[in-house]
Structure 1
């Protein structure tokens, strides 16, 4: 999950005073500072592992814009979907113990599990939960937990049974988060532990990730955590409220630092061997997690400057993305969170790992830094990734502006709603999300998603029976068209929604909602 945006220059703050970068990374300071200036990132942390050693773990910038506290190697960030690799490992650890098989049907462990199609329900395996090939569309069901909702994990998994499938089972790749909520339930059911306790005892403690936290709700009073930043209305850089996924921690809950994530990369590159020589997991399990299950279509780069990064293959294993770069296999993942995005990249044959954590919502930042580090160690030089990703961001903005201009050109500004405003005010229900309320407040209509406190806003008339909801929280960057369809008697039959900007995060899956009036 992530949005593109980028500008604000802050002084660099290295974690280790006077610490010199290793020879291949002599230009990293300048690169990170260019990234921070070009993409408006207040703080960035980077760690690099090479040949089993942590050769760099540092921070640049500040934890919060306008405050002096520096980003350091132990500064905690939301690592978001980089959590998925921990969830995949948890299931494989249970498989190693013989408590489940990765090809077990999910219903063998969770009899009440349901997808919207009975056949898919009956055939879905534990491995399928991790590999994004269920038939769900991109981000389907995310509104059950994004932004933070009052649903419990059990509610999310139950409501999955109503989320529509848009593709064939095991037919194609479509990234989802909601099946990791199911994976979390499987872990808890089979292990007899909470997922929090399992992660802490079976992974964090053994790897040496002492500062890592289960999610935002479990940050300690003394933790030095970064504050997320976003471009309000895509323009004004400000801090955002923290988000928590207590109801789907398996998809993206963890908070960690580059100090701890460097240790995680060491164990991954050592094929599961811990620093004391014991095994956290087997090489066989790693082979399964790093084996392509779901191929992806390799997209053409958005600008010519990104052509050198275009992979020859791309796919997904179990909690890891798989592709190649400069003849080397990459095992990697990204994470997107309100105000924070990140990337973890492993190059197994080069025994190289890179983690980049940031406190702004611009993936171009972590990509530019990651590829610069890979180039430094893989013997490739001379390509300006900051400039390349800067041009990609600019093009993405331009494309979004063009799409909005087309909407404006098609708008009939003389049109009026078919009904008086009071006739649109009602409670509406979607089969998988639940209720949405529209109420009259003076001269305006207000919209509120019942289980999502942040999704409250004002309806502005667009044309005919279509409105735009302008969310009160301007950090969301997710204003949406709200279209009312009328029946032959002139009453509201249903309501559909669609994000108005192409830059809106895909987790606002408004397009999958179909609200019908209640009462």
Structure 2
């Protein structure tokens, strides 16, 4: 059995503080925080919880609403909230713990632990900081979900080529962290839920932290997740799916346990120090994402944060070590989804703290100097743009607003107002850390030093002819026996995936059809259709009559590619 070094790093003083988790009310008034939770502060609304640490003291803690509306059970500090993607923070810790014990090398190829995968230069560290270059599609949607979930995910990555070179492109990819959980299991002999329960949650007394398909699982005193429906709330947390693979999400934890965990993170030491890492692209530029945490600022002003969102949960945690400060927000509903969720509330609490204690405000880089509009360049940029941004199909319109600045408006209404800071570079005065660069006729988008890929201008061309070759049943050797069914209907394309789900794809430009909601696109090719979108590598779909059904030829074709 693996040795456990983690708890040796905790001092007796800190352990005493963790055991009590006492909330100390500072001399300042922190009651303003409760105003953010007025909509969840009744016996008929879902639960929400918040805790704030300032200068090492818990200055505010509150729990609002009901853990179980149907059975009239109020939420409390021990109620378990679905952390969703905040789970990545804990998955990264498990990897760093095994690395500290000498069982994992962060810069080793993932194929050295997951031997089913070909070695394409992707390292464990690449997975952690989200620069693996791997595709992030749903295996079920592609039709390669064979056997159990582990086998399905590994089979998909063994078949599909990579959309990007490792280290060249940042993309938020849940599958990166699912693969990390598999590495934990291969190395430790325990599943991720077992490993964290035995080595971390148990020793720390975090009795309310668990996976629904792991040790210490309990539905007692859970803050069930609700969605607003017809003036009421529907419980979406009624069934715990049995999953064999976790890592990107799925963990439940209470406010009390999250307070305990936050104190350990701030204390640092060993694997905890690794949680504050920041990733680097292959050219040495920082990614502003590390071990399951976003990283902003630098030096004294560095902030580490992450959140999670699902259909009925929104969570966020922020660590500001310079002020020994933590903000934790847990919401068991979609009430705040349309207003930025737990992330927006966390940032509002943080900003208020900085206003009250200006001497503790994090250091920020000087804003870039605006050079003034370039009319000739602006005229070239105005029009429609299409491509992927952070792995999502996007259609955007570039316009000149009333102030004479450029405005990039996306399909969902989100807008970036842009001001030039160089001949080919723009920043947004409204969205911190956003930058747009014009390079070889394409728009490269950056957010907090994360490359979010690029958009290409939409060109108006004469309509391409649609032939019988573009309707019917389409297959690819990459998808095995799975088939897509595609029909062209005027300006739309109707596509049915191997799993049976139907999509309506709208014509973006001649020969390119897409759906920004379902995050996929089809490009008309002479041989059939090119399937893409959502960080998919280009997958050529050929008419099934062109498909070679002999196993001999199918194997030789596959071996020639890989």
Partner residue, 1:212: 209
Q: Give yes or no for contact 1:45–1:59 (8 Å, CA) kept in 2.
A: yes
Looking at structure 1, the residues matched to 323 and 308 of structure 2 have their Cα atoms a distance apart, in angstroms, of: 23
What does 1:93-492 correspond to in 2, within 5 Å? 93-114=97-118, 118=120, 120=121, 124-136=122-134, 140-144=135-139, 152-215=149-212, 220-229=218-227, 246=243, 248-271=245-268, 283-294=269-280, 315-324=288-297, 328-358=301-331, 359-360=333-334, 361-362=337-338, 364-380=340-356, 399-400=410-411, 418-419=467-468, 424-426=471-473, 428-429=475-476, 431=478, 435-438=482-485, 448-450=496-498, 456-457=501-502, 459=504, 478-479=517-518, 483=522, 485=524, 487=526
Change over 3 Å in CA distance of 1:482–1:217 after alignment to 2: farther
Give the Å deviation of 1:365: 2.8
What does 1:54-93 correspond to in 2, within 5 Å? 54-62=58-66, 70-93=74-97
Give the Å deviation of 1:180: 2.0
Coordinate RMSD, CA, aligned: 4.9
Tell me, what secondary structure is at the counterpart of 2:138?
A: helix
Tell me, what secondary structure is at the counterpart of 1:431?
A: helix
Partner residue, 2:33: 28
Give the Å deviation of 1:345: 0.8
Looking at structure 2, the residues matched to 516 and 106 of structure 1 have their Cα atoms a distance apart, in angstroms, of: 32
Greater helix share, 1 or 2? 1
TM-score, structure 2 normalization? 0.60
Looking at structure 1, the residues matched to 142 and 330 of structure 2 have their Cα atoms a distance apart, in angstroms, of: 21
For structure 2, the residue ranges without an aligned partner over 5 or more in a row are 1-22, 359-400, 402-406, 416-457, 548-562
Looking at structure 1, the residues matched to 275 and 164 of structure 2 have their Cα atoms a distance apart, in angstroms, of: 24
Q: Give yes or no for contact 1:425–1:445 (8 Å, CA) kept in 2.
A: no
Q: Give yes or no for contact 1:434–1:450 (8 Å, CA) kept in 2.
A: no
Larger RCO, structure (CA 8 Å, separation 6 or more): 1
For structure 1, the residue ranges without an aligned partner over 5 or more in a row are 1-18, 272-282, 298-312, 383-394, 470-476, 499-507
Among 484, 493, 512, which residue is 2:528 paired with? 493
Give the Å deviation of 1:28: 0.8
Larger radius of gyration: 2
Range moving further from structure 2, 48-57 or 145-154: 145-154
Looking at structure 2, the residues matched to 355 and 410 of structure 1 have their Cα atoms a distance apart, in angstroms, of: 47
Looking at structure 2, the residues matched to 101 and 294 of structure 1 have their Cα atoms a distance apart, in angstroms, of: 17
Change over 3 Å in CA distance of 1:66–1:73 after alignment to 2: same
Change over 3 Å in CA distance of 1:61–1:108 after alignment to 2: same
Change over 3 Å in CA distance of 1:512–1:47 after alignment to 2: farther
Give the Å deviation of 1:268: 0.9
Q: Give yes or no for contact 1:215–1:253 (8 Å, CA) kept in 2.
A: yes
Looking at structure 1, the residues matched to 170 and 486 of structure 2 have their Cα atoms a distance apart, in angstroms, of: 39
Looking at structure 1, the residues matched to 475 and 251 of structure 2 have their Cα atoms a distance apart, in angstroms, of: 34
Residues paired across the two proteins, number: 415
Change over 3 Å in CA distance of 1:315–1:231 after alignment to 2: farther
Tell me, what secondary structure is at the counterpart of 1:250?
A: coil
Give the Å deviation of 1:431: 2.3
Change over 3 Å in CA distance of 1:25–1:134 after alignment to 2: same
Tell me, what secondary structure is at the counterpart of 1:344?
A: strand
Tell me, what secondary structure is at the counterpart of 2:208?
A: coil
Change over 3 Å in CA distance of 1:364–1:30 after alignment to 2: same
Q: Give yes or no for contact 1:63–1:70 (8 Å, CA) kept in 2.
A: yes
Q: Give yes or no for contact 1:217–1:244 (8 Å, CA) kept in 2.
A: no
Change over 3 Å in CA distance of 1:429–1:294 after alignment to 2: same
TM-score, structure 1 normalization? 0.64
State the Cα deviation string for residues 362-405 of structure 1 (Å, max 9, x = none). Answer: 572323321233244445479xxxxxxxxxxxx9997425699x
